[in-house]
Amino acid sequence: MDQFHHVSTAFLELGKSYQEAIDDITKRMGAGMAKFICQEVETVDDYDEYCHYVAGLVGIGLSKLFHASGTEDLVSDSLSNSMGLFLQKTNIIRDYLEDINEIPKSRMFWPRQIWSKYVNKLEDLKYEENSEKAVQCLNDMVTNALTHVEDCLTYMSALRDPAIFRFCAIPQIMAIGTLALCYNNIEVFRGVVKMRRGLTAKVIDRTKTMADVYGAFYDFSCMLKSKVDKNDPNATKTLSRIEASQKACRNSDLLNKRFLSLSLSLSLSRWYMTLVLFLLLRQTSYFDRKSYIIASKSRYSSILVVVLLIILAIILAQLSASRSSN
């Protein structure tokens, strides 16, 4: 607070439209955060409300600033709110252990309505004897966060300015990647779970267009889907939300845009091979773009099928070439 005069000076140098947006959002955030000083997060509605005050309003405020700059259309508060909630819920899930061990008093943001289905006290999730219930509760929390994915994709698809797009898109990809790592992972209750620096660097480097965003979300959704245990009490709901996210990516027609544009430039004989490969790769998430999923032992069978189809494609190409020469 001793340095607040710098904030005040910077604020007063901004244009009026920027000041109005910041003034409005700051007041609403302050009032909302003050409300939760004395109120615990009991229900899922409380959880959404708390996340709205600390992050959803940031999304709404940023949308107003983007619009004030003249570079973007004004996006609905609902979509803007979802952008903030998706990031905030990911942080709350990932930071369980840090928050619960906070001294002098634990910070408890997981809603009682969810965790009380699994344990008597929120801190009980960190004890080894409750590992199975802890993972089930964690999966429940991740499933709740996935409800915002489609809104986030819709929001980002409407952005026009490249700098604003990357500013918004990179954290969202980091969030879905973090959820994929946290899901069904007991390490959330033992230490820190986060994306490796190398993968983070790849996300930053590769995220330039909406096609990149759809590709990343599709890849991490595949990773999530592969981790769903059918015996998990929320498995059906989780799979439904993952599949809805994947459908949104596929329906964009951007997921395979680069591959199709490449195919059209090939000769007919090579096109046979390209088409065969594309049909298979579409099923395994290995598009011409670089996948964020690293092949593991469980994917060996898919790789074998790829090799066999490559051989088949080469044979088809040679037959086509022979017919042309005849």
Would you name the residues annotated as active-site residues? 50, 94, 107, 167
- Which amino acid does the sequence have at 83? M
- Taking each helix axis from N to C end, the angle separating 162-182 and 149-157, rounded to the nearest 10 degrees, works out to 160
Q: Phi, psi (5° rounding) for residue 272?
A: -55, -50
Site of tokens 């990516």: 249
Q: What is the C-alpha R_g of the chain?
A: 23
* HSE toward the beta carbon, residue 248, CA cutoff 13 A: 24
Residues, the chain, total? 326
d(CA 110, CA 125) in angstroms, rounded, equals: 11
What are the CA-CA distances from residue 20 to residues 28, 127, 132, 229 (Å)? 12, 48, 49, 48
CB atoms within 10 A of CB 122: 23
DSSP assignment, residue 141? H
d(CA 268, CA 154) in angstroms, rounded, equals: 37
